[in-house]
């Protein structure tokens, strides 16, 4: 992540904390219908508020974000005692033990490669585990310093299928993001790994 991207993220979160309080993460859980109790969960890109992790039941909760040190330096990071905070990137996941669920809320288009992102997530989920995804569908002309990866449904579904994910029936597509109320086509779904 570049310094410019880190500065943009800090600016976004300083503004977002006023416009989108933590209840935004409760809305993710509602859209995903998160009601299970998990063994080990990972959320990619929690941001400074712990993402959805404070609102789900799990024996082990791990947050992965490349900006925890930046959030802490800017007095934005809110730590929860039951969450392990790991500074890192899904492009090089620093985990040896798999997870029963992985959550990704508006992160896939922030990485380096859609396929790398999905391949690495697949390697981290146990067979029968769950992948919860919220993503803005972006074409090349919609990319910028923060949103660097184009995402379309065909390529996304091919990558998920290639990695053994089945769609158990929870999939919704929206013209405007119903959670963050942003003007992007948005896909919200839950996949189970074979």
DSSP 112-165: S-HHHHHHHHHHHEEEEEEEEEEEE-B-GGG--SS--S-B-HHHHHHHHHHTTE
> What pTM was computed for the model?
0.89
Residue 189, both tokens: 């779904």
Q: Mark 32-57 as b/e (b = at least 16 C-beta within 10 Å).
A: bebeeebebbbbbbbbbbbbbbbbbe
The position carrying tokens 């909760």 is: 61
Question: Is residue 20 pLDDT above 60, yes or no?
Answer: no
Closest among 95, 159, 103 to 131, alpha carbons compared: 103
pLDDT in tens, 103-162: 998 887 666 766 678 899 999 999 999 999 998 887 777 766 667 777 888 888 999 999
Question: Is residue 53 pLDDT above 90, yes or no?
Answer: yes
Helices (H), ranges, the chain:
3-19, 23-32, 68-73, 114-124, 153-162
Model confidence band, residue 25 (pLDDT cutoffs 50, 70, 90): confident
Question: Is residue 15 pLDDT above 90, yes or no?
Answer: no
> Would you give the end-to-end CA distance of the chain in angstroms?
32
Residue 28, both tokens: 């993710």
pLDDT at 9: 79
Q: Which domains does the chain have, with CATH numbers?
A: 3-193 (3.40.50.150)
57-65 vs 83-87, strand pairing mode: parallel
The total number of residues shown for the chain amounts to 194
Task: Quote the percentage of the chain above a pLDDT of 90.
Answer: 42
């Amino acid at each position: 992540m570049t310094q410019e991207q880190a500065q943009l993220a800090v600016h976004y979160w300083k503004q977002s904390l006023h416009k989108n309080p933590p209840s935004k993460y409760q809305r993710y859980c509602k859209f995903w219908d998160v009601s299970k109790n998990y063994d080990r969960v990972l959320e990619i890109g929690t941001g400074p508020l712990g993402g959805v992790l404070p609102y789900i039941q799990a024996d082990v909760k791990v947050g992965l974000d490349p900006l925890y040190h930046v959030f802490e330096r800017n007095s934005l990071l809110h730590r929860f005692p039951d969450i392990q905070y790991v500074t890192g990137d899904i492009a090089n996941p620093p985990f040896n033990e798999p997870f029963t669920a992985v959550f990704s809320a508006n992160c896939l288009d922030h990485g380096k490669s859609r396929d790398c992102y999905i391949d690495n997530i697949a390697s981290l989920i146990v067979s029968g585990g769950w992948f919860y995804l919220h993503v803005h569908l972006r074409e090349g002309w919609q990319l910028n310093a923060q949103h660097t990866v184009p995402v379309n449904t065909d390529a996304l579904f091919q990558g998920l299928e290639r990695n053994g994910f089945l769609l158990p029936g929870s999939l919704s597509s929206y013209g405007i993001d119903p959670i963050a109320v942003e003007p992007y086509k948005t896909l919200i779904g839950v996949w189970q790994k074979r």
